[in-house]
Amino acid sequence: MLNSQMENIKSDNENSEESIFTSKGYGQSLENIPLKIRKEEIQTGELLLETISDDSYNSSISTLNNNLDTYSLEDTSVSVEDIYSTVDKYCNKYGVDKNLVLAIIKQESNFNPNAVSSAGAKGLMQIMDFNLESYGVNDPFDIDENIEAGVKHIKSYLDMYDGNVEMALMAYNAGPGTVQRRGVTSLNDLYKMPAETQNYVAKIMKQLK
């Protein structure tokens, strides 16, 4: 009898806990739970994009324009609105498509201003230290400094490749030296680039479309 009572108590507790989790949305499948960025588990935008659901990934840049709360930032002192307005400011200043820059940020850091890759790329636009230095960036995690440097960086590649977005993205991801060494002169040569770069370009272009 005692064992039976203990089993009933245990069952009641489990049912109670289950109802609490379900009421808070934790009983849903992982695909339906809003994405929360955790730096200690995910350090780069690339790794992050491989773990989110297809539905989350397929959200377009237009969704970002209409619903800026779609993205959850670990650094709550920085809002998505701040990032969006900063992108707008520097894209207007340097003549770069803001949707392209937003897509790069999505792919690089998933809007996490504190992201650091295993290679040492930092901030929203995942810029390496030598590029940060060349653009005079003092704080790579400052959204204003990082975004301005990133916009200037992608702009330099757009100018280098006469406005060819795919070529500019290859250079942004792998470096212009890699593009040159592998004999890449157009999108038709994308297959010559590392698999990471091929996926990078494809994902960003999918978002833009």
Q: Which two tokens stand for residue 1?
A: 């009898």
CB proximity list for 18: less than 8 A, separation 6 or greater: 27
- Beta-carbon-side half-sphere exposure of residue 144 (alpha carbons within 13 Å): 1
Which segments of 24-142 does DSSP mark as H helices, in order? 45-51, 54-57, 61-66, 80-94, 98-109, 129-134
Known catalytic membership, residue 108: yes
Which of 7, 14, 108, 133 is labelled catalytic?
A: 108
Give CA–CA dist 174/164, Å, rounded: 16
Which sign does the torsion angle of CA 50, 53, 54, 57 carry? negative
Active site residues: 108
